Structure 1
């Protein structure tokens, strides 16, 4: 028995070299990188240098669609960039106060600022000072978003931001959520970002329930065409439940079926059927490992290459999402090596 274990350990160590060679080294892993989107990178760096014109040109390219998901991604990245330095955004708004591009970025930036003030803890662990900052910034959002909507009525992005505003408002503004969702269903019924925000609104930790959350997620997936990223939404719902409940939530039959849905659009070691799939694949890495589906998890690592994302690791409480990703990466590599003949 002892010699059998030794032989298995030696074999696993030999296999591990081959497994590690199939992935980029750990020190090459990057978090939330956008360097494969040069126009976005250029726009952010120019903005930090005081030149907002490239951000304007970047968003002009999607001002009338049809790639609303790309527009939403660029808006979010520019708004996040303004958290580090917002002078360029304030200057842009001052010089072009009716420009729908700057208005939608400003609205999203104010939402980000509100959450920066609030922090990520549950309400009972959040100080009144933090809530005061949260309310201060959130109270500025709706007029900005309404102006963005009036300036570019075809754009679903400000309505998606409105869902987050409704979620953060005291008691949850269900009427505002319903209004936003009605317009989103008309403008872009398959909008991934809007569905992700809505899933948060209807989950139990905010203004819904587990039942409403799962109904929403599965209806979105069941109604979506083949290849839609909405097929990953049920897995995110299971993650929400897993974060709040003790027990082996992700090992349930329902969670396994949700993983299989997500794999239809994020096949292991192959391109996804849609762009900007990295957070979905990071979630699959974590969930497949928990489900002891190590070879499939390894396939997701191969598809990701060097790309870690903050979500879902930060949702599970990781202080360093990149390091948490690397920890799971190492455990998956070892598990695959041990399972090899």
Structure 2
């Protein structure tokens, strides 16, 4: 090794878990059963949480991801039984099938034929979700899934607002529904930074202490960061674009701190999305180079790595290594005295 070469530091040895940012043993059993072709356990897992929208929203999303390719057969079952849980799962699975067709890249990378199939498959989700909503009128989750479908179908703002009213008339802090609404108001979907940030702030202000909906603040700022970075890249300012993630979160840290404190000031309530929220705050504090807060949220993640918001500025195939670098820097190394204040 040359005198001026830098020795590559070893990454911490951690059992990083990706694509499983929740702790729900019932859901794990249901997923395993569904993967073997048995739906009884999955439907039972949905039925038992009809009055717990956060749990229900998580379970139906995860199960739908595992059942891609089986939406039509779920509709056939629902038509026979009239079961609202089966209708909900069918609608959600159509949404996942649509996104599997489209892919999650930029619209410019999607061909016309794939877009036609995407829209056609998304439209199939609407009727089952309406059936689920009619079957359980107080259930917010079919409307939350309807919002996802409406966003993909590029529904007009009046329709999107009407679906949002249906959601908020049934629940006030449904984490995935608030995240989808954040996307609807984002600049990339035709909204604006100002409206999206205002929504995030009002949502956090209205939420009870100890609720991870506070993560809407860092998530909204990641949307601004992504838009600003892409604008710099398009204008050939590549160096400024590369520097932006760190400088951006240093500037907005006070607002992120306030949101984090509202969540963590008391013992946080158990919540299906807590690990996702810790990912959002951890990523923000890693970029802001704030050792104490970064360490707290990295530890609280318990090595459950969620794609969002890390993949806003890190390529997917590098996520694990970059997370481990951050863990080594902020968790395994004790902060210097000056960093304590």
- Please give the TM-score of this superposition, normalised by the length of structure 1: 0.83
Matched, 1:76 2:61: yes
Q: Return the match for 1:215 from 179, 184, 198.
A: 198
Instruction: Give the Å deviation of 1:271.
Output: 6.1
Matched, 1:157 2:138: no
Q: Return the match for 1:205 from 188, 211, 218.
A: 188
Q: Return the match for 1:31 from 18, 23, 39.
A: 18
Find the aligned partners of 1:128 and 1:265 in 2 and give their Cα distance.
44
Go from structure 1 to structure 2 and tell me whether the alpha carbon gap of 1:60 and 1:304 turns closer, same or farther (over 3 Å shift).
same
Aligned to 1:135: 119
Aligned to 1:95: 77
Q: Return the match for 1:325 from 323, 326, 329.
A: 323
1:104 aligned counterpart, secondary structure: helix
TM alignment of 1:33-182, pairs within 5 A: 33=20, 36-63=23-50, 65=51, 67-83=52-68, 86-87=69-70, 90-97=72-79, 98-170=82-154, 172-182=155-165
Offset from partner CA, 1:310-331 (integer Å, 9 cap, x none): 2222333522333332232233
Q: Return the match for 1:308 from 305, 317, 321.
A: 305
Find the aligned partners of 1:195 and 1:34 in 2 and give their Cα distance.
18
The answer as to whether partners of 2:90 and 2:128 remain within 8 angstroms in 1 is: yes
Offset from partner CA, 1:31-80 (integer Å, 9 cap, x none): 133684221111111111111000111111012x0x21011111111011
Go from structure 1 to structure 2 and tell me whether the alpha carbon gap of 1:75 and 1:257 turns closer, same or farther (over 3 Å shift).
same
- Please give the TM-score of this superposition, normalised by the length of structure 2: 0.83
Find the aligned partners of 2:220 and 2:21 in 1 and give their Cα distance.
26
Instruction: Give the Å deviation of 1:333.
Output: 4.2
Q: Number of aligned residue pairs: give it.
A: 310
Find the aligned partners of 1:338 and 1:68 in 2 and give their Cα distance.
40
Offset from partner CA, 1:142-173 (integer Å, 9 cap, x none): 11211111111111011111111221123x32
Aligned to 2:282: 285
The answer as to whether partners of 1:30 and 1:322 remain within 8 angstroms in 2 is: no
Find the aligned partners of 1:147 and 1:141 in 2 and give their Cα distance.
10
Instruction: Give the Å deviation of 1:114.
Output: 1.5
Instruction: Give the Å deviation of 1:199.
Output: 0.5
